[in-house]
Amino acid sequence: MELALRWLESLLTVRGLARNTVAAYGQDLDTLRVFLEAVQKPFFELDEELLMLFAAWLRQRGDSSRTLARRLSALRQFCGWCTEEKALGSNPLALVDGPKLPARVPEVLSREEMEAMLKAPVVTGDKAKLGLRDRAMLELLYAAGLRVSELVSVRPLDLDLQAGVIRVLGKGSKERLVPLHDRAVALLGAYLRDTRPAFEPIDDEVFLNRSGRRLTRQGVWKIIKRYAIQAGIHKDISPHTFRHSFATHLLEGGADLRSVQMLLGHADMAATEIYTHVQARRLRKAHDRYHPRARAGGPASADVQPSDGEETAPEKSRAFPSHVSLA
Beta bridge partners of 159: 166
Q: Please, what is the Cα angle at 258 between 182 and 147, to 5 degrees?
A: 60
User: Is residue 197 a contact partner of residue 208, using CB atoms and an 8 Å limit?
Assistant: no
* Range from 141-145, 182-186, 246-250 carrying the lowest mean pLDDT: 246-250
Does the annotation mark 275 as catalytic? yes
Is the pLDDT reported for residue 138 higher than 70? yes
Residues 228-237: pLDDT tens digits? 999 999 998 9
What pLDDT, on the 0 to 100 scale, is given for residue 323?
A: 36
The one catalytic residue in 243, 244, 277, 281 is 243
Tell which residue, 174, 173, 178, 148, has the closest CA to residue 160: 178
Q: Which domain holds residue 139?
A: 111-234
pLDDT of 34 reads: 92
Determine the pLDDT at residue 193: 96
Residue 109's pLDDT band (cuts 50, 70, 90): very high
The CATH number given to whatever domain includes residue 14 is: 1.10.150
The answer on 227 and 122 residing in a single domain is: yes
Sheet harboring 175-179: ordered strands across? 159-160, 165-169, 175-179
Q: How confident is the model at residue 300 (pLDDT cuts 50, 70, 90)?
A: very low
Mean local confidence (pLDDT), 51-69: 86
d(Cα 27, Cα 4) in Å, to the nearest integer? 11
Is 249 part of any domain? no
Could you say which of 84, 119, 150 is where a domain stops?
A: 84
In a domain, 323, yes or no: no
**What does DSSP say about strands 159-160 and 165-169: parallel, antiparallel, or unpaired?**
antiparallel
SS3 call for 177: strand
Last residue of a domain, one of 84, 99, 130: 84
Mean pLDDT of 80-88: 86
Catalytic residue among 70, 133, 135, 147: 147
Residue 166 lies in a domain: yes
- Please give the model's pTM, rounded to 2 decimal places: 0.62
Regarding whether 220 and 140 lie in a shared domain, the answer is yes
Q: Which residues of 73-103 are buried (b: 16+ CB within 10 A; e: fewer)?
A: ebbbbbbbbbeeeeebeebbbeeeebeeeee
Q: How far apart are CA 47 and CA 50, in angstroms?
A: 5
Average pLDDT (53-72) is 87
176 is catalytic: no
More confident residue, 225 or 20: 225
Q: Would residue 157 count as lying in a domain?
A: yes
Highest mean pLDDT among 96-100, 257-261, 264-268, 317-321: 257-261
Residue 96 lies in a domain: no
Alpha-carbon Rg for the chain, nearest whole angstrom, is 24
User: In this structure, are 26 and 65 located in the same domain?
Assistant: yes
In the predicted structure, residue 315 carries a pLDDT above the cut 70:
no
Residue 236 is predicted with a pLDDT of: 87
In this prediction, residue 102 has a pLDDT band, given cuts at 50, 70 and 90, of low
Above pLDDT 70, what percent of the chain?
80
- Known catalytic membership, residue 240: yes
pLDDT value at residue 153: 94
Number of domains in the chain: 3
Domain membership flag for residue 162: yes
Q: Do 220 and 121 reside in the same domain of the chain? A: yes
Are 153 and 66 found together in one domain?
no
Same domain, 29 and 74: yes
Question: No. of H helices and E strands in the chain?
Answer: 13, 3
Answer whether residue 101 is part of any domain. no
Catalytic position from the list 111, 171, 225, 289: 171
Domain end residue (candidates: 184, 205, 234):
234
- Average pLDDT, integer, range 130-147: 96
pLDDT digits (tens, 9 = 90+) for 142-163: 999 999 999 999 999 999 999 9
Instruction: Indicate whether 129 and 230 sit together in one domain.
Output: yes
- Report the mean per-residue pLDDT for the chain: 82
Whether 133 is catalytic is: no
- pLDDT mean over 180-188: 96
For position 319, what pLDDT does the model report?
37
Residues 124 and 222 reside in one and the same domain: yes
Distances (CA, A) of 216 to 18, 136, 144, 223, 262: 16, 16, 19, 11, 26
The answer as to whether 100 is a domain residue is no
Active-site residue, selected from the candidate residues 214, 227, 275, 277: 275
Same domain, 70 and 115: no
Domain match, 170 and 211 both? yes
Taking residues 298-311, what's their average pLDDT?
43
Q: Are residues 123 and 79 in the same domain?
A: no
Mean pLDDT calculated for residue range 23-45: 90
The CATH number that applies at residue 193 is: 1.10.443.10
Q: How confident is the model at residue 276 (pLDDT cuts 50, 70, 90)?
A: low
Which of the following is catalytic: 6, 41, 167, 240?
Answer: 240
**For the residues 285-311, what does the mean pLDDT come to?**
56
Quote the pLDDT of residue 321.
37
Residues 46 and 133 in one domain: no
